[in-house]
Structure 1
Amino acid sequence: MKKINYIIFAMAVLIATGCSKSFLDKNPQGELTAPQLTTQDGVEGLLTGAYALLNGNVNGTFGNYGAAPSQWLLGEVTSDNAHKGSENGDQPNMNLLERHSPTSTNDNLENVWNRCFEGIARCNNTLRFLALVQATEKKFPDARANELTAEARLLRAHYNFFLVRIFKNVPLITEATTELAVDNMKDIYPAIVEDLKFAVANLTPAFPKGQIGRMNQIAAKAYLGKVYLYQKKYGEALPLFNDVIAARPGIETIPYTDNFNVNKENGPEAIFAVQHSVGADGTGGDNGNVGDILNFPYNSGLPITCCGFFQPSIDLANSFKVTPAGLPFLGAVVPGEVYISDRGLTKEEKAAYEVDVEIPFDPRIDYTLGRRGVPYLDWGIMAGDTWIRDAANGGPFLAIKNVINAADVPANTGPGNTNVTGLNVNIIRLADVYLMAAECEVEVGTVGNAMILVNRIRARAALLPKKKVTLVKEGLVDAAVYRVNPYLVFPDQVYARNAVRAERRLELALEGHRFYDLVRWGIAKQTLNDYFKSEGKYFSYLAPVTMEDRDEYFPIPQTQIDRSKGILKQNPGY
């Protein structure tokens, strides 16, 4: 059970007790006073509140899109992987994000800013009250006090990292901060690193208190390595990634699909996972995966029917095409006819449509996006336009990884709200660590080691069951010419770098990484401008879009600048 509570933080918090994952099962008991919080139970409850913000929600279910832990909007829709989807007039501020023309009043940016700083406030309150408790006779044992501090500081690092990736220039707020507003033009990466280094030093590989879902040393090492990677400190990141890889089973032994199966959560691939819960906790779904609430097929006859957002791009679909050797095309343009499913066909042609099974594809395509004529989880054959809210606006494809099986809907969706699921979201999973380690190997010059890591990811992909379709003439056949083979050589560093980057896209597509990867690689502007030209041939609203240098980061919410009385400065270009 993985029930997280969402507590509005004035000085209110839930007192949490219990064991196992029941630390996430407690319901708010109302406001507590400072003396009540200056207890072991009070501090544990404050920390539970800090964990609770991981799903980006304070209360309610709709409206948490920018703060979604999956980062589907700011990490994928802003990239070449996905469209906002739905209808053009629905959530117009999301259109502005997809087209890289947001303003400082965009509600999605305000949402993620507020939620992350609320999470930071909860971490800081945990640390403040922990210090008060440790000055009393009823203090925690030193080991638990250090562990509590490490958990809170790791969570604070996470919220700060989300903010700095999105906005770059953010204020650093700690438990010692007393100012009402803080300058946001100082680099906060050193503080993030110090929080994570403390967590590595003071956590163990075991889950604190034996409760799955808490932060442990494995998560701390992976996160510290990731932050070093963003700083291009490859030599410092690599040993951390290698430690994480050594602590887990070989990636080939862990089924790829377990990462997106509500019944297989918290398995050996999960390194840092946001725990979601629905149903019996009485919150009506508040503790569920509310950030992805809009991102399901759109048809009243389907297991989940809302709301047609988050549709994979044509460019992403074509990135799964492979060479005769079963390798990705590493050039900017995939040769041959562009695969667009049934887009652009007449009504009569669509009625007679059959999926083209002769296209050589990496099998991960059919476990990442739904395409017409191919089985979609256990929902049946994806029917095309009748499952899509507005195919002209969003395209012919559907996301899969955030969707649960039809058989799991009754037990794993919110009461009366099936589009709030209990599916966890992986912030970092083991395959991500493999590929970050491979990237480090490339950049330090050991490309042979990078190839080994990439090939292990590809070896697992080759184990995916082939999707089958029934054609009128041929009968039951594979839905594509599925082919994924290992690299035989990385001939040089440039080739190796491109291969690792391509593998990250294929393996982690629609998991919230893509835009941030493009930015940190320094290729966002070129990649996205090429994408707008190519994708704009099919979606006229993208044709005139041009990404500028400023668009690597988003505008600071104007409300925050106004409240700071000018202490916060707007990002350049906005």
Structure 2
Amino acid sequence: MKLISFKQSFIALGVLVTLGSCDTDEKLDVKGNGVVFEQDFYRNETEAYSGLVAAYDKVGKFAGSMETAPLLFLNSASDDFYAGGGNSGDQPGLQVASNYTITPSNIPPAIWANYYQGVFRCNVMIQKLPAVPMDAAKKARFMSEVKALRAYYYFDLVRMFKNVPLILTPLTKEEVPNVLQAKPQDVYLQIEKDLNDAIADLPVTVPANESGRLTKGAATALLGKVYLYDNKKAEAAVQLEKVNGTPGGTSSFGYKLMPTFASLWDHSNKFNTESIFEIAYSDKSNADWGNFETGNDEGNVAAQLMGMRDYSRTDAGKAAGLPDYINGWGFMVVTTDLANALKTDPRFASTIFDANAEKAAGRITFTDSYNETGYHFIKYAAVNKDITATNPFLNFAINTYVIRLADTYLLEAEALGGTGLRAQALLDAVRARVGLGSVPVSLDAIYAERRLELAGEGHRWYDLVRTGQAAAKLAFKGFIPNKNEAFPIPYTEFNNTKMDQNDGYIQN
């Protein structure tokens, strides 16, 4: 089992995360052989801040890795995308998620490991921070941030793997073999406790040079979402109303829907009024194939993977003003089902590129991906002017949303049971922003709106599972009911532990 133990822990040279703007990189500066052992650290505020940076760092894996990026993995497992790529063996962890041949032996183990590394770093901070001599208010904020981060990591773990260990303190080497899984309900209770503890001491807003750090609004939005997944709808509605305010207006936290849907995907609009929790990526780490995923992977790698293969504009395409997309690796091929659902929707043009139509018109050329449909995802698409780093493939400074206001509008409408004037107003506000008229509010209408509004942002698989739609919607991919609602725990985690594998994945 690879849950990191207390005595083995260290903070390594090059731990880097963008807590501020995309141009602000924070590194832990250490001397000698490049490591500082944990027992010799956390002596002052500077070191505590470096520990906070390390706790945030694993959030960046969301779109900052390849087959282990949750954004790519969850999209591949949904009904909106095929994994794509060059062939059936390209990034195999994404392929097995896409076709539901996933097993404990072929799931990318780093998905589980990255989240638990994040948990571990939070646990160390929670244990060490009280003894650090520093300003009391700043200490309280740091503690609130790491508790909210721990909640974030556990929320994804319990949603993806269901039966997970609930570890709240750094483990000794001797304690690791005795780790057991907790009941999902107990994990949810701890997540809710951490967020409730955190909210009071988080700031309402942060200055520009701290953009990306958790705020009171972000933790409140996450708590509302957690309550909804925990089937505490009344509690969810209360928290989400705080975040949302008057539908279509500006909330007490300062959130407001962006004026146009397209403006959300202008990559210069970082930390905009609709952004509640956003991950900043950097083009400054200069990661390359020799040091990738060893503390230098701070760019948006998913942007490269999702680009069309061998994309090129013809003279006609240039004259027509088609985007100058990078030559990508062809992952996240859009299913025809999603393309058809969005075809007449105003959000289509900012979500999907109809490559086959443009190729037939002689405006572009590109190479088919595996399971090619002719439709490609473009919300986070990189263009050639985004190439600024030494190694552009690993260093795109394109941020991604974890939670944005349209998401919380629809979550609150759902928490309200899909009925009533406020639920109607929340749904109407999301539709009105893109020029669509009102439709009668209902749970089905809300679910349909979530698919169109949030396509490709990593929510769809979770939505299908929690609403009981997964078996029907994912049957064409090979989804097996009462099994694939959770992913298998990686086989490598069972060495010298007492954990049990999730139902349906037992290997003889």
Provide the C-alpha distance between the structure 2 equivalents of 1:295 and 1:15, rounded to a whole number of angstroms.
26
CA contact (8 A) 1:84 1:394 kept: no
> 2:99 maps to which residue?
99
CA contact (8 A) 2:96 2:107 kept: no
> 1:410 maps to which residue?
387
The within-5 A match list for 1:500-511 is 500-511=446-457
* 1:370 CA displacement: 0.7
The within-5 A match list for 1:416-495 is 416-418=391-393, 420-442=395-417, 446-462=419-435, 484-487=436-439, 489-490=440-441
CA contact (8 A) 2:334 2:377 kept: yes
3-state SS of paired residue (1:156): helix
Provide the C-alpha distance between the structure 2 equivalents of 1:46 and 1:209, rounded to a whole number of angstroms.
21
CA contact (8 A) 2:333 2:375 kept: yes
> 1:557 maps to which residue?
490
2:372 is aligned with 1:399: no
* 1:277 CA displacement: 0.4
> 2:176 maps to which residue?
180
3-state SS of paired residue (1:96): helix
Provide the C-alpha distance between the structure 2 equivalents of 1:66 and 1:300, rounded to a whole number of angstroms.
25
TM-score normalised by the chain length of structure 2: 0.84
Provide the C-alpha distance between the structure 2 equivalents of 1:89 and 1:20, rounded to a whole number of angstroms.
38
> 2:291 maps to which residue?
none
- The amino acid of 2:27's aligned partner reads K
Structure 2: 5+ residue stretches without partners: 1-7, 245-250, 289-295, 313-323
Query: Larger deviation: 396-405 or 40-49?
Result: 396-405
Provide the C-alpha distance between the structure 2 equivalents of 1:140 and 1:209, rounded to a whole number of angstroms.
23
> 2:5 maps to which residue?
none
- For residue 158 of structure 2, the aligned residue among 149, 158, 164 is 164
Structure 1: 5+ residue stretches without partners: 1-7, 134-138, 322-360, 463-483, 491-495, 533-541
> 1:523 maps to which residue?
469
- For residue 54 of structure 2, the aligned residue among 30, 49, 55 is 49
* 1:124 CA displacement: 1.3
> 1:318 maps to which residue?
340
* 1:9 CA displacement: 5.7
Provide the C-alpha distance between the structure 1 equivalents of 2:73 and 2:176, rounded to a whole number of angstroms.
30
3-state SS of paired residue (2:309): coil
* 1:449 CA displacement: 1.6
CA contact (8 A) 2:298 2:395 kept: no
Identity of aligned residues (%): 31
> 1:274 maps to which residue?
279
> 2:345 maps to which residue?
362
CA contact (8 A) 1:278 1:421 kept: yes
Measured at CA, do residues 208 and 228 of structure 1 come closer, stay the same or move farther in structure 2, by a change above 3 Å?
farther
Provide the C-alpha distance between the structure 2 equivalents of 1:219 and 1:101, rounded to a whole number of angstroms.
35
The within-5 A match list for 1:363-382 is 363-372=346-355
* 1:107 CA displacement: 4.2
- The amino acid of 2:72's aligned partner reads W
3-state SS of paired residue (1:206): coil
Could you report, residue by residue, the CA deviation over 1:470-515 in whole angstroms, capped at 9, with x for unpaired residues? xxxxxxxxxxxxxx3222x44xxxxx11100000000000110001
Alpha-carbon RMSD across the aligned residues, in angstroms, is 3.0
TM-score normalised by the chain length of structure 1: 0.74
2:494 is aligned with 1:569: no
Measured at CA, do residues 303 and 208 of structure 1 come closer, stay the same or move farther in structure 2, by a change above 3 Å?
closer
The within-5 A match list for 1:239-318 is 239-245=238-244, 246-247=251-252, 251-279=256-284, 281-283=285-287, 286-299=297-310, 301=312, 303-318=325-340
CA contact (8 A) 1:258 1:265 kept: no
3-state SS of paired residue (1:202): coil
> 1:228 maps to which residue?
227
Alignment length (residue pairs): 463
CA contact (8 A) 1:16 1:44 kept: no
- The amino acid of 1:147's aligned partner reads R
- The amino acid of 1:389's aligned partner reads D
Measured at CA, do residues 425 and 252 of structure 1 come closer, stay the same or move farther in structure 2, by a change above 3 Å?
closer
CA contact (8 A) 1:251 1:456 kept: no
* 1:36 CA displacement: 4.1
Higher CA-based Rg: 1
Provide the C-alpha distance between the structure 1 equivalents of 2:103 and 2:282, rounded to a whole number of angstroms.
34
The within-5 A match list for 1:533-552 is 542=477, 545-552=478-485
Could you report, residue by residue, the CA deviation over 1:536-556 in whole angstroms, capped at 9, with x for unpaired residues? xxxxxx5xx353221000111
> 2:35 maps to which residue?
31
CA contact (8 A) 2:126 2:146 kept: yes
Provide the C-alpha distance between the structure 2 equivalents of 1:255 and 1:439, rounded to a whole number of angstroms.
23
